Structure 1
């Protein structure tokens, strides 16, 4: 009887060791790391190239954010806002009148929960491509980020415009990247969390100067 128990225990230990070896062989672990708890820098650099050893984000009480019922919303590019084209003054941005075109290639995001508020970091990578009419030496890229609760009647929770300047040089095809680090909004309840989306897209209106306030 004792020998039978010893053989059963040995088999169990052998199976457990095999699982651990298999996990190590595929470069993972027995428990997968949830997307919420992965470092933004890790995912951003893994997506765009590079690596990092930043610690995982945590909640205000020190517990891993992955232990909450919330998930970090996905990033979606708004329809019709995936490209930004600029033509010669008074001309359509097409054909020989196209000066340059900006496109979004890849995105990344991270969410941190603290005291009922979510701070999101959203990163994009794209390219500025010169057109036949010739691009200027420097190009302003306008981007808008919105946190939206999607549904029958979408609700905008947060929105803000950002801009970055890209030096074209003589290449005519220049990559750019932008990280928005101040996207802050109240943490949603668990029943609507899955309806939240990070919408991004080009917003030419962001390049226009704000109207001056009238003095009394």
Structure 2
């Protein structure tokens, strides 16, 4: 069916609004369902803002009451991991997650016409995100879960997309972990948008990492650096 002039005008206005600062306030029902059923992650209970500059992102750990309270036991309870084993939940040991505004949106354009809103093929943006940590004798291991929203642009259509998602862990100037995951997903046929869940397991950092460590998540939109000739 041919779109009317009014609908085209609304679409153009809508994409101009999309090009503004991303809002991560909307929490989808699917993400809420994921969080409520994340026993395998140990996610739930109280939550706190990841940072004052990111009021809409969440980073949660489960503050369970200890099964056997002891001054010699730093854990505050146990949780079942993704592997089905029982691990202690350590209070205050899970670093917070941060996201820069410029890393919150990923777009592709048709015919190389970057920054032309009418040439957007698809756009992806982050919704809410959360994390959970387990502690061993040698490592603090983090799992990150994030909600992603996809939408086709004026020059796009449903289909497969691959999103470059970078997670890095830094302690001052020291990079403890940095990896880009090529995350395959899709916008289903007959749809113009989709919401999916990204999960990254096994993010390791040294024991003792905590409040001073910064965990960054976002789309990797930087061009590859060329190697310097020696």
TM-score bin (small chain)? 0.5 to 0.7
Give the deviation of 1:202 after TM superposition. 0.3
Q: What TM-score do you get using the length of structure 1 for normalisation?
A: 0.62
Relative to structure 1, the CA distance from residue 110 to residue 162 in structure 2 (aligned partners, 3 Å threshold; closer, same or farther) is: same
> Which one of 130, 150, 155 corresponds to residue 133 of structure 1?
155
Larger Rg: 1
Give the deviation of 1:78 after TM superposition. 2.6
Relative to structure 1, the CA distance from residue 148 to residue 57 in structure 2 (aligned partners, 3 Å threshold; closer, same or farther) is: farther
Q: What TM-score do you get using the length of structure 2 for normalisation?
A: 0.58
For 1:61-95, what per-residue CA distance to the aligned partner results, in whole angstroms no more than 9, with x for missing partners?
x984426xx52011111341000011013211432
From the two aligned structures, give the one with the greater strand fraction.
Answer: 2
Counting matched residue pairs gives: 154
For 1:31-50, what per-residue CA distance to the aligned partner results, in whole angstroms no more than 9, with x for missing partners?
xxxxxxxxxxxxx9757454
CA distance in 1, matches of 2:214, 2:131: 11
CA distance in 2, matches of 1:57, 1:149: 28
Q: Is the 8 A contact 1:47 1:108 kept in 2?
A: no
Q: 1:186 corresponds to which residue?
A: 206
Q: 2:175 corresponds to which residue?
A: 156
Q: 1:195 corresponds to which residue?
A: 212
Relative to structure 1, the CA distance from residue 138 to residue 63 in structure 2 (aligned partners, 3 Å threshold; closer, same or farther) is: closer
- Once superposed, what is the RMSD of the aligned Cα atoms? 2.9
Give the deviation of 1:165 after TM superposition. 1.5
Give the deviation of 1:170 after TM superposition. 2.1
SS of the equivalent of 1:80 reads helix
SS of the equivalent of 2:90 reads helix
Q: Does residue 66 in structure 1 map to residue 85 in structure 2?
A: no
CA distance in 1, matches of 2:113, 2:128: 30
> Which one of 118, 126, 133 corresponds to residue 140 of structure 2?
118
Give the deviation of 1:126 after TM superposition. 1.3
